[in-house]
Amino acid sequence: MGFSSALQGRAAHEALIVRQDAELRLMETMKRSIQLKAKCDREYAIGLAAVAQQGMKTDRADEMQGSLITKAWRSYMDELDHQAKQFKSNAELLEVVCEKLTHLSQDKRKARKAYQEEHAKIAARLNHLTDEVVRKKAEYQKHLEGYKALRTRFEEHYIKSGRGGRKLDDVRDKYQKACRKLHLTHNEYVLSITEAVEVEKDFRTVLLPGLLEHQQSVQESFILLWKNILQETSQHGDLTSDKFKEIQKRIDNVINSINPSEEYREFTEKHKTSPTTPLVFQFDDALIEDIPGKLQSNTLTVDNLTVDWLRTRLIDLEMSVKECQEKQLKMIEHANGGSPIANGSIARNGSTASNGIQSPKDSQNRQSKDLNALRCQEKQKQKLVDMIKCALNEIGCEELPSGCDDHLEQNFIENSFNNDQQMSLSTNRPLYEEEWFHGVLPREEVVRLLNNDGDFLVRETIRNEESQIVLSVCWNGHKHFIVQTTVDGHFRFEGPPFPSIQELIMHQYQSELPVTVKSGAILRRAICRERWELSNDDVVLLEKIGRGNFGDVYKAKLKSTKQDVAVKTCRMTLPDEQKRKFLQEGRILKQYDHPNIVKLIGICVQKQPIMIVMELVPGGSLLNYLRKNSNSLTTRQQMGMCRDAAAGMRYLESKNCIHRDLAARNCLVDFENSVKISDFGMSREEEEYIVSDGMKQIPVKWTAPEALNFGKYTSLCDVWSYGILMWEIFSKGDTPYSGMSNSRARERIDAGYRMPTPENTPPEMYRLMLKCWCAEAEARPHFDEIYNVVDALIIRLDNSH
């Protein structure tokens, strides 16, 4: 049953129109979905290519020469790259499919319109004749009634007046006219009915069936084309197709070619060496040559100064020996129980599972290795236990020998006097004036300053909005002791209290007693403030000139030199983590010296608020400068700004510093339009930096795609940002990707969009921008090359004038 016989009714015709509308909507839905699929495949191809590119970066590849694993891995990455290209090709083919679907949709709309017009045309003819029959019938009835009335009137006059008379002639004339009209209307009515019968018959048996039959053919031909489009879509997304199977087969083959017994053959031959020469450890007798008394090489000294420490150490060691013995017993029990353990998982049925579980042989080897390690550890600890026990047993009396004789005590007094010369003590001046007091310097900076056992400094920390003084000491690592306050306002650790912190620290320093018995930490050398640690009182804040991420920025003056400076402040309410990030900029800048990098003068950490003091650059932000002077800037000046920025970034790249936030707003303008790179709050001193704490506060429109997509930063990401900076300079402070949201700009960039050249930009400079915006990071120029290109263009411009 087809359209011609089944769909002749009006309701069926309307249903067919509705069906065609639904099919057109379905086509639009399919088109959007296929476009999205193409976009996903393209993005996946980009991601997969980035994975392959990352995987091919094997550091110091010469050390893995001859490795089957390395060879398999590289082949694997090559095949991933092939997969990426295949997905990209599929995405392009899907875009072609979308075009076909668009054309099919357009043709279907035309066919739908043609069907409606043709159906309306043949239906209109039938409707017109139907209306004509009704009209003729109405005329027939009207003339019939007139005829009947005139005939009756004629008959009446004829009977009354006989066969003559003028009045009778008039009535006869009207009667004859009415008769003629009736007969003519009768004929027209008969003809219209005959025509309508034929038209209706043709409409029902020829025209409408023919139209519907043609429409069915058109509809079915569209369905065939539609089916072909869906088949193409399916083929381009078929991961089980031969092309993907071949890639997977090559991956499987190269991985299966790995032979563990052959992996290290070439490496072993290349690096074959003689057996390890035993290391000789012996006591350096020179250490005790000038010390009279009971200190002897390779012999423990037991006296009133050491006995408590030795007994505590003995207890700790005996507990360690016991723990080793218990672990050995547990391992032996597992082995006897037939449950070999490998990395916490049980190997069953003698097979190697796919999730990394080791075979019974591997597990037994691991057990044997771990058991041997525990036995060695037990033997080492037991050796120390025996040595301490032997030394303690040699003390045959209750009273312990003195830890120092008269001669040693005299030496201690002399040393204390000498130390007093090195470390000044004053109870009259405030603590923050002491050179060894470092204020609120973060712990990371403290750890960096304390390098040798006995190095110490005093600092302040804020905990629960309460200030505490902390003594930090390098001793078997880094230890931090909070100064305790007694009821009467004195200060102490474990020993006696003192009226001031200075006296407490001096006591610990001169007596050479441990700060606490448990730590054993002794104060030997006070670490004074570094040259760049300034006093807060030396900085006079004058006026607020801006606002940063951590606090306000001020113009200020140094009391000591009367120099005008710029000061960044850190809000006191920020958590310690934010304060550490704030000081990171100072830590980075202090080691840099370049005319195009803003200079650090110092940091102030003695009091709150923490401040970073930098040179004052009079022109302010480059972005504001560009906007204010847009009418007067010349091309030569703009190129000079680009060269200055390239010079500063070339210097940073040589120092393995990734800026991560290069933009016009983060550059400053000095005299004669000279540009300086500033704002190092997001910088990292690494060749490659991977973001692991999310992508918060990322300047999306200035950031390279690989950093946005994978969180991976290198100096080549700064090159991308430099391209945006160039665009800002030549657009005289316009906003990049104006009118686009961050997400929209990111989509467009991933799709290959690049901003057009700003007005009056030299073509060579725009070509350099486009190079900086290469999607592949490795294809971008380094800053040394960028500087040379811009410098050469400026020289050529100067010579031409």
Task: Please tell me the distance from the alpha carbon of residue 738 to that of residue 694, in angstroms, as a whole number.
Answer: 26
Task: Please tell me the distance from the alpha carbon of residue 618 to that of residue 539, in angstroms, as a whole number.
Answer: 19
142 marked ligand binding residue: no
Closest CA to 726 of 747, 705, 757, 699: 757
Task: Please tell me the distance from the alpha carbon of residue 682 to that of residue 661, in angstroms, as a whole number.
Answer: 7
Give 342's strand partners: 345
Task: Please tell me the distance from the alpha carbon of residue 545 to that of residue 532, in angstroms, as a whole number.
Answer: 23
Check the CA dihedral 486-487-488-489 and report its sign. positive
Catalytic-labelled residue, pool 661, 734, 791, 798 = 661
Task: Please tell me the distance from the alpha carbon of residue 233 to that of residue 37, in angstroms, as a whole number.
Answer: 10
Q: Any alpha helices (H) in 635-735, and if so which ranges?
A: 635-654, 705-710, 715-730
Closest CA to 801 of 635, 655, 681, 676: 635
Give 96's strand partners: none
Can 107 be counted among the known catalytic residues? no
Q: Any alpha helices (H) in 555-682, and if so which ranges?
A: 576-589, 622-628, 635-654
Count other C-beta atoms under 10 Å from residue 292's C-beta. 11
Task: Please tell me the distance from the alpha carbon of residue 158 to that of residue 151, in angstroms, as a whole number.
Answer: 10
> Is the Cβ–Cβ distance between 655 and 590 less than 8 Å?
no
Q: Are strands 689-690 and 712-713 parallel, antiparallel or unpaired?
A: antiparallel
The answer to whether the bond into 499 is cis (omega within 30° of 0) is no
SS3 568: strand
Closest CA to 680 of 522, 550, 797, 531: 550
Give 472's strand partners: 457, 480
C-alpha distances (whole Å) from 637 to each of 333, 595, 667, 709 are 81, 17, 15, 35
**The tokens 């005008």 sit on which residue?**
564
φ, ψ at 99 (rounded to 5°): -65, -40
> Is the Cβ–Cβ distance between 233 and 91 less than 8 Å?
no
Task: Please tell me the distance from the alpha carbon of residue 689 to that of residue 686, in angstroms, as a whole number.
Answer: 6
Q: Which residue pairs, CB below 8 angstroms and at least 24 apart, start in 470-473? A: 471/505, 471/508, 471/515, 472/443, 472/446, 473/515, 473/519, 473/521, 473/523
Count other C-beta atoms under 10 Å from residue 61's C-beta. 12
DSSP state at residue 395:
-
478-496: string of b/e by CB count within 10 Å (b at 16+)?
A: ebebeeeeeeeebbebeee
φ, ψ at 292 (rounded to 5°): -75, 160
Catalytic residues: 661
Known binding-site residues for ATP equal: 568
Binding residues: 568
